Amino acid sequence: MSPDPALEAFCAFYNKLDKSCTKNLYKIYTPDVSFVDPLHRIDGLAALERDFAGLYENVTACRFVFHEQQRQGDIAFVTWTMHLAHRRLSSGREITVEGASRLVFAADGSGRVSHHRDYFDAGELLYERLPLLGPLVRWMKRHAAGG
């Protein structure tokens, strides 16, 4: 299968994304984009820019390793590993989280995404890293798995 230019551009953009690039989200997202992940839902490009700007304010490093990529028509799936260093999580140490994204590309042929949904373990990213809640979440996960 030959590489998909819009999907490749999406992945390349995310690997350059930092607090200085959030104003360039319009290059990969439509104005009415819907962005959903386990922590929140954001509707509209302006809201997404504000959210990303706030998020990346405390990010000291972020990169993605993209794995499988599939696209059929306007719908694509990408699996990834995110390597994130955030001042307020894990004392600023790098966190690694596995995830997947479902993307719906705009029907206008622009190559921009109109719907983005991320799937990942929110506990692995956030809840397990909080001082009081973290030990409880890790204990619950171990016991739910029979450990």
58-114 tens-digit pLDDT: 888 889 999 999 999 999 999 999 998 888 776 778 888 999 999 999 999 999 999
**In this structure, what token pair is assigned to residue 78?**
């990408």
Neighbouring residues of 125: CB distance < 8 A, sequence distance ≥ 6 = 84, 89, 95, 97
pLDDT tens profile 16-65: 887 787 889 999 999 999 999 998 999 999 999 999 988 888 888 889 99
Q: What pLDDT does 17 receive?
A: 81
**In this structure, what token pair is assigned to residue 14?**
């995310």
- 3-state class of 100 per DSSP? strand
CB of 71 closer than 8 Å to CB of 18: no
Q: What pLDDT does 136 receive?
A: 60
Q: What pLDDT does 76 receive?
A: 97
- Residue 76: its H or E element: strand 75-86
Answer whether CATH 3.20.20.120 is correct for domain 5-119.
Answer: no
Q: What pLDDT does 50 receive?
A: 92
Residue 3: pLDDT over 80: no
CB of 99 closer than 8 Å to CB of 118: yes
- Domain range annotation of the chain: 5-119
**In this structure, what token pair is assigned to residue 55?**
């998020």
- 3-state class of 22 per DSSP? helix
